[in-house]
Each structure stands twice: as C-alpha cells, then as structure tokens.
Homo-oligomer: A and B are copies of this chain.
C-alpha cells in the first residue's frame, strides 16, 4: 500500500508535496521481522506499474521474501495520512477500493508454495475488511496454515472507514477460533464486545483472560495506551499466557503514530520465536513498539540492538 502524507505537521489542505512511504499491517510486520533477522515471506498482489515495483523493491531491499507476491491488474491501494499534533488528531483517508489485492481471489494463491518451510502465519483485521475476496482469503489462509501446523497470530484491528463494527465482529469470530496468539490494542477490543480498559492493568488482564477462554487462544498480547495528546502517549503492554506479564511503560513523543501495533506484533513474534520468556517477550515487544513511534513511515526500522539497548537504558542519550 502506498502512503501519502503532507510534510511535517501540514494539513491536507496545505499539501503541495506528499511524502511517499509504503506500508500495510502485514507488510510492516514482515519487514520488521526481516530486519530483526527472521525469514519473513510477505504475500499480497501488486499492480504491474512502477509504484507496484517500488513497493516490491522496498520490501526486497529490507530482506523480505517477496517470491510469493502476485502481480496483475488493479490499482495500488493507497491512503493519505495527515500527521496530528497536540490536540489535533492524525487523520487517514483510505483510497483502497479496487486494489489489485482487493480484487484478487483466494484461488490465485498457491498455499503450498506460500507455507513452504514456514512455522507461523500472521494476519490483521484489515485484510478481511478489504472485501469479500480478502475475507475469504484470510479465512482460507488461516485454515491452510492451521492444517499445516503453523502458529497463527491475528491482530483484530478495526478500521471504521472500511466496514462496520458488526461486519468486523462477524468476520473476526470466524477467525479467532483459528488463532493461537491474539495481538491487539486493549482499547481496540470493543469490536469484540469488550469495554476499553485503558491503562488499567487489572482490567486489561481480565480482558486477556476472557479472550483466551472465549476463543481458545494460547496467548493474548494487549498494548495499553494513555492518550495525552496527538503528540504524547503513554505506552505499555500485557502478554497473557495464563500468567499476566506487564511491560514497563514509556512516555512517547510521537513522530509517526502509524504502525506502533505492527511493530509491537513483530517484536512479540520475534521474541517468542527466540524462546524468550513471557516477561522478556513483552518488554522486547513494547520497546519495539515504543521505538516505532519515533520513526517516520509505517514500518519499524529499529534494530534488535536498539531494542535491547532501550530495554536497558531509557535515557535517549546521544550515541557517539
């Protein structure tokens, strides 16, 4: 997906130049995992034109395995992002209808090739929101992954600009029983009927427990966010695997609000894959998520070394 945003804190109405980034939930997670050193294969369908090429080159440059990305007719989905500041919220205008991916059918994808050598599968709630084809594809991918014994993680993020809460709920409830690890923001769970739990540790643990039991999850990871303004957030997280592991919180000065959840997800998946214990895993994932907020673009460009360094020293001292 192509992301176009006015420079700095300019508004859409003041746009003479748009900054170009590439992103999208699963792409961000794949790139982040590749940067951390994992093999990550990203699957989508991209148009044949130059901007489709650009997206591909971006992923390849960062080491993402793009061999299963389809190419063909259709647009490149795009969205406009206006960076918020202070009391002014960031705003998104989606322009994704008719994208090559949205138009692609599950039949075009070769799951044997896609899952070859893979041990886990990650999906977000945005994929099924892109239309019937994509909803079918998400379900099929999860089933195929499950059947092959992969660990399935799912982030049920909800975009009000793409569908209604009811549609999302109905869809997510078919996907969650196939999910091993749920990764979500604690405030984003209202689509599943939970009340927002904010920064309340007890209520957040309660919510995670409820979800694990309701959907038979192996674990649930919930980010916890305190909204001070569009420029400042508190940020923490819970990893719940019967035991509740809370990360120590960060006070974030936000450079780029988008992709924090994906950075957290990638950090968590990486940490679990390395066999870190729950407490370390959630600290790693939260540090990864925190760093993302200081990086322009959708994807977390923080290295493993930076994440570990942050876990040890939050001072932000200059390194020279």
* Chain A interfacial positions (CB closer than 8 Å to B): 4, 7-20, 49-51, 53-54, 57-58, 60-63, 75-76, 80, 82, 84-95, 97-98, 159-161, 227-232, 250-255, 257-258, 287, 290-291, 293-297, 301-302, 306, 309-310, 314-320
Contacts and interface: CB of A to CB of B under 8 A. Distances in A.
A119 to B, nearest CB: 24
Q: Which 8 A-B pairs have the closest CB atoms?
A: A230-B316, A227-B315, A61-B61, A92-B320, A12-B50, A57-B61, A88-B294, A90-B318
Contacts of A318: 84, 89-92, 230, 257-258
A296 B13 contact: no
A58 B60 contact: no
A84 B294 contact: yes
B60 A253 contact: no
Given A75-B97, A296-B14, A253 B89 contact: no
A314 B253 contact: no
B18 A18 contact: yes
A13 B295 CA distance: 11
A9 B92 contact: no
A20 B15 contact: yes
Of A76, A95, A227, the most chain B CB neighbours within 10 A belong to: A95
A253 B227 contact: no
Given A60-B61, A87-B287, A230-B317, 12 more contacts: A8-B296, A9-B296, A11-B50, A12-B50, A50-B82, A51-B80, A84-B316, A89-B309, A92-B318, A92-B320, A98-B98, A229-B314
